[in-house]
Amino acid sequence: MEQQAVAQTKIPFDFQGRGGEYFGIWIVNLLLTIITVGIYTPWAKVRTKRYFYGKTFLNNTNFSYLADPIAILKGWLIAVAVFIVYSVSTNFVPVLELLFMILFVLVLPLLVVRSMAFRARNSAWQNIRFDFKGRYGEAFKVFILWGVFANILSLGLLFPYVQYRQTRFLLENSGYGKSDFEFKAKTADFYIIYLIVLGIMTLFSILMVAAGAGVGAMMEVSATLTPEERYNQIAVNSQMVMVPLMMLMYFFIFAYVQSRVGNLVWSNVKIKENGMESTMRARDLMWIYFTNILAITLSFGLLVPWARVRATRYRFDKLQLIPAGNLDQFVQAERNHVNALGEEMGDVFDIDIGI
């Protein structure tokens, strides 16, 4: 009885996108992007995002994506120019790669901050925009000092802590209207996830060696072969068992980390005392990713829209808002203008800033 009362107070996110509908948008985007040599990219991006935002409902109101394609076009043109200069010049003068690396390290935090801000300020719900106030200095600290140097120097031992710091930076600087996000997760929560990953890896490794050895032992080896050839033949056959097992392990760990970290992060976000609850499961994600990759491959990419809608629907099916009170009380913040350069650099160079 009591559980039911609690369940009733939660507000589910509702994603109503449909694969067939998105297919039309996707294929037209693809065509226009090709025949305009990419100039249409900003419009394609805005239409895609408007569709996904507009089909995501919370408390019967949809989200809105408000970016201006022209603003994105400017950023996109600069990003493409930099990409061309980069890929051509490093081919001619390989030493330049080093220079670009240094430059990239210095610029990356700026890209993170700018693209987060652009994305947030162009997203709205109930006509109140989201916001991001993170600054370059702090971004440099968490993404470069911690993210690159501390990770390498600690041989990955600090990785969960670094991920915690980066997530905290991204969330605590985010806001909805004038209300800032709070992030309640602890470092230990991140470590627990990766300790379990370590456990899974150990278990799989033992399984793999056992299976490999089993196959090797059961095999009949022709007596006419030299010891070396015999050894090679056993190795080849064992690998046939071990490689698929290893791929299965990587796949599972990927889905496991995605679901557990996603749940941890979103279940610990608070906005003006309103909480969230995320309940993704590793096996569901694994199934969705696996069937999506299969569908995309077998359809030569034509099922990309279907796969994307499906993954998004799962994500929002497992996300709920736990309201503390009235959701009508959020107040709009003052508007600051951000250009789309950071966002587009990130897109063209395929930097994924995900929370």
Partner 1 sequence: MVELQGQYFDGQTSEGKPAKLLCTSSSFELQTADNYHCYTLDEIKLQPRLANINARFELNDGAVFEAADQPGLDDIYKQLHQGALHQFIHKLENNLVYIVPTLVVAVVVMWALIQFGIPQFAKSVAYQIPVEYESRMGKESLAIIDKAFCKPSKLTAGRQAFLRSKMLTMLGNPDAYQVEFRYCEAIGANALALPSGIIIFTDDMVNLAKHDEELLGVFAHEVAHVDNRHTLRHILQDSITGLLIVVLTGDVGSASSIAAAVPTVLLQTKFSRDFEREADIQAAGFMVKHNLRPVHLANILERLEKEYGDGEESSGFLSTHPLTKERVKYLTNYNNK
Question: Quick one: 304 or 319, whose CB is closer to partner 1?
Answer: 304
Interhelix angle 304-317/282-298, rounded to 10 degrees, is 170
322: tokens are 């736990």
**Cα distance between the two ends of the chain:** 35
Of the candidates 121, 165, 308, 313, which one interacts with partner 1 according to CB under 8 A?
308
Half-sphere exposure of 181 (CA within 13 A, CB side): 26
Q: How far is CA 293 from CA 23, 296, 299, 304, in A?
A: 17, 5, 10, 9
Residue 336 gets which letter from DSSP? -
- Report the candidate in 278, 264, 270 with the shortest Cα–Cα distance to residue 325: 270
Of the candidates 70, 81, 85, 93, which one interacts with partner 1 according to CB under 8 A?
93
Question: Quick one: 185 or 348, whose CB is closer to partner 1?
Answer: 348
Question: Quick one: 81 or 152, whose CB is closer to partner 1?
Answer: 81
Binding status of residue 267 toward partner 1 by CB under 8 A: no
Of the candidates 304, 319, 341, 345, which one interacts with partner 1 according to CB under 8 A?
304
The interface with partner 1 within residues 49-68 (CB under 8 A) comprises 50-51, 54-55, 61-62, 64
Binding status of residue 92 toward partner 1 by CB under 8 A: yes
Using CA atoms, how far apart are residues 142 and 169, in angstroms rounded to an integer?
A: 8
Non-local (6+) Cβ contacts of 343 within 8 A are 72, 75, 114, 115, 118, 119
The interface with partner 1 within residues 117-136 (CB under 8 A) comprises 125-128
Using CA atoms, how far apart are residues 319 and 117, in angstroms rounded to an integer?
A: 23
For residues 236 to 265, the per-residue mask of contacts with partner 1, x marking binding by CB under 8 A and - elsewhere, is ------------------------------
Binding status of residue 301 toward partner 1 by CB under 8 A: yes
CB 124 to partner 1: min, Å: 8
The interface with partner 1 within residues 2-31 (CB under 8 A) comprises 21-31
Binding status of residue 156 toward partner 1 by CB under 8 A: no
2: tokens are 């009591």
Binding status of residue 296 toward partner 1 by CB under 8 A: yes
Residue 324 gets which letter from DSSP? S
Question: Quick one: 86 or 161, whose CB is closer to partner 1?
Answer: 86
Pinpoint the alpha helices (H) of 122-226: 136-139, 151-153, 159-172, 187-218
CB 249 to partner 1: min, Å: 17
61: tokens are 């109101």
Coil, strand or helix: which one is 129? Answer: strand
* Chain contacts with partner 1 (rule: CB under 8 A): 21-35, 38, 41, 44-45, 47-48, 50-51, 54-55, 61-62, 64, 80, 83-84, 87-88, 91-95, 125-128, 177, 293, 296-297, 301-302, 304, 308, 311, 327-332, 347-348, 350, 352, 354
